[in-house]
Amino acid sequence: MLKTIQAGSLRPEHVDQTVTLAGWVDRRRDHGNLIFIDLRDSAGISQIVFDQVLDPSIHQSASLLRSEWVIQVIGKVRKRPDGTINTDLKTGQIEVIASSLTILNESKTPPFYINKDEETDELLRMKYRYLDLRKPKMRSIVNIRHKAVKFIRDFLTDKGFLEIETPILIKSTPEGARDYLVPSRLYPGKFYSLPQSPQQLKQLLMSAGFEKYFQIARCFRDEDPRADRQPEFTQLDLEMSFVESNDILTLIEKLYYDLVKSITPDKKIKFPFPRISYHDAIEKYGTDKPDLRFDIEMSNVVDWAKKTDINILKTIVSNKGIVKSLNAPGCGDFTRGQISELEELVKTSGGKGLMWIAISKQSKSIQDLTIEDIKSPVSKILKLNEIQEIASIVSSEPGDLILIVAGPEKIVNQSLSLIRDHLGTHLGLKNPNTFEFAFITDFPLFEWKEEEKRWDAAHHPFTMPIKEHLGIVDKNPEKVIAHCYDLVCNGLECGSGSIRIHTRELQEKVFAVLGYTKEEVASRFDQLLTAFEYGTPPHGGIATGIERLVMLLAGTDNIRDVVAFPKTQSFIDPLFEAPDHVSSEQLDELHIKVNPTKI
Ligand code: ASP
């Protein structure tokens, strides 16, 4: 090794030792006779002193050093003189008096500061990712990711799980996205697909009798770019045989609780995680990934709406629409502009409008309200007792704002859930130091794709319907509830899973509802269906996102922060400039012709 110890590991106990250090010049401070170098390595920073009085030639060499040069220093560790101790640094009580300096490599001036936490253009950071990763914040996130994955591996190994790798060159495994395809050189015109997840493979491992499998699995999904997405990502992929939903949930709950406690002991996390049915989540929060750090809930007020004289509400209800309401605590004094922001959220969800009733702070109580206490575009149409009634349904107090949205169910839920989220931020209710995990359970098995006029799998096609609904899978697909669950935290989906179908007959029935032809089923799923005929046990599992987990632990909402070499929001790699053209020879070998008009 070119060093005897890490610069960042030096402590008072090393005083009087002669050490060899190697790393990067983080900062140079020239004080005339004394030059100070902050020497940085992967463990941290130590201060090196070059003293002209003690060694003029080494002092002269140190004057040449610039940021990010790579150097090796030999020197003696000493206690820092009184008054110069830096309590912000773990090495702040000591310094090293240099007796030898070797320049191992020079560095151009970096395109951005590494030793300052400055707002830097993200594209530039990604183009020079190796420099960006030198920053302490980025190093610490990489560290957290390593710790989290190690924790998972240790935890599951202790519980008897085997980590098994599955292929990257495989055939289509549907998870609702497009496949990334890899052309085969050896078999002209044929392609491998990169796995959207190892779903079928882990089920085959259950058929193979492994009973407890996991993998830190790379997944590839060719979806449209979105800010919080990467085309390739990592999952904790897990499967168990002879289990029921509760077994998987209990295991994941303990894993996540222990992991969070171990890696971020200062964060608040509750145990056990609440379990909320999909139906209740949509009813109360309008979404299947509610942020439970705050308890604003919505209520169905169809019955109330029907009694009022607001015709538009009545028309919506008679057209099978719904009316829901929530209370915005303390928002009764919202300005016109603030209300417009809320209205905008309804519009972006496809809704027509927002009805609001502001209750004055001056009013004594809801029972004592007078019409003067109310500000609302519908105050002339609503009767006082109707306002009191809705106020009591949504638990409003004086000073609150009642919000009402009416329309098609999906639009109403989405609008109000966006409003709820907005209020959570506005009212400062999203405590960044709290993790509110929950399981959302009992999802529908299918969802209707209106544009394509067909049923799609709500989770994926391998999900087991509940026992009571086995008889109606093909007769009333809209009613079928699945043994399916999501792990959510602070408004984010962290993972999903299910108990799986393990018989050919039922699996074929589900494929038929999904509209797969016999040929499609044979070409894509024959391996799984055949395995079902050879004693595949009942099984189930889950996959949780590693990036999401690390984002929570590291307190960042940028997915690119938690991936060492991420793609941009438009799925470009600015460092390697991928994707890129390839040579015509490579294309010829792959028997591929690119249509020049499409480039
Ligand atoms: N394969 C599923 C996914 O990637 C997870 C699972 O059902 O285990 O979402």
pLDDT tens digits for range 525-577 = 999 999 999 999 999 999 999 999 999 999 999 999 999 999 999 999 999 99
Span 60-110, pLDDT tens digits? 999 999 999 999 999 999 999 999 999 989 999 999 999 999 999 999 999
Give me the sheet containing 355-359, strands edge to edge.
Answer: 298-300, 322-328, 401-407, 355-359, 374-375
Cβ 494 under 6 angstroms from ligand 1: no
Q: Which two tokens stand for residue 333?
A: 């004094």
Cβ 497 under 6 angstroms from ligand 1: yes
Cα gap 152→249, rounded to integer Å: 15
What pTM, to 2 d.p., does this model score? 0.94
Among 179, 178, 255, 117, smallest CA distance to 546 is for 255
Distance (Å) from CA 367 to ligand 1 centroid: 51
Q: Is 114 exposed, middle or buried (0-12, 13-18, 19+ CB in 10 A)?
A: buried
Distance (Å) from CA 273 to ligand 1 centroid: 20
pLDDT for 480 equals: 98
Inter-CA distances, 391 with 300, 397, 419, Å: 13, 8, 18
Mutate to test the pocket of ligand 1, among 221, 443, 460, 486 (most ligand atoms within 8 A of CB): 460
3-state helix, strand, coil in the chain (%, to 5): 35, 25, 40
pLDDT tops 90 at residue 464 = yes
Cβ 197 under 6 angstroms from ligand 1: yes
Do the beta carbons of residue 447 and residue 458 sit within 8 Å? yes
Span 339-361, pLDDT tens digits? 999 999 999 999 999 999 999 99
